[in-house]
């Protein structure tokens, strides 16, 4: 998770968000992978800069192209993100940011993510 100002476009923080991804275990022997294989993104990230930043980190960009790709094809992968946003919207303090300090807002966002994970785990136990 990366925090930016409300007046910045999401694609401007793509490099920082990619660098913030923690290591992913493959389950096999050896070092853990440091990057995911692919990045699925919507049309807002359709630019040469975003594709170049992904490729520089060894990630295959799967970004919908403006005026070419239909939005419903991306929905197979995008619904996971939209569902998570809907879960985060249940925490009213995060929907409208009242905190001036970024560290407090980041802590509340991480607390909300922990509570969402706990709710999902408790559904299966």
Which of the four pLDDT bands, split at 50, 70 and 90, describes residue 7? confident
SS3 for 96-118 is CCCCCCHHHHHHHHHHHHHHHHH
Residue 86, SS3?
helix
The CA-based diameter of the chain, rounded to the nearest angstrom, is: 45
Question: Is the pLDDT assigned to residue 35 strictly greater than 90?
Answer: no
Question: What is the pLDDT at residue 51?
Answer: 94
Q: What is the pTM of this model?
A: 0.69
Model confidence over 60-118: pLDDT tens digits? 998 888 877 665 666 667 778 788 889 999 998 888 888 888 899 999 999 999 999 99
């Amino acid at each position: 998770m990366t925090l930016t100002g409300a007046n910045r476009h999401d694609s401007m923080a793509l490099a920082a968000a990619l660098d913030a991804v923690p290591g992913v275990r493959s389950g096999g022997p050896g070092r853990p992978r440091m990057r995911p294989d692919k990045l699925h993104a919507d049309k807002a990230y359709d630019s040469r800069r975003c594709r170049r930043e992904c490729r520089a980190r060894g990630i295959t960009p799967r970004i919908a192209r403006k005026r070419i790709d239909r939005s419903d094809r991306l929905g197979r992968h995008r619904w996971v993100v939209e569902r998570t946003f809907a879960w985060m919207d249940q925490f009213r303090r995060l929907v409208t940011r009242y905190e001036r300090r970024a560290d407090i807002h980041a802590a509340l966002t991480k607390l909300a993510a922990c509570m969402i994970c706990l709710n999902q785990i408790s559904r299966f136990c």
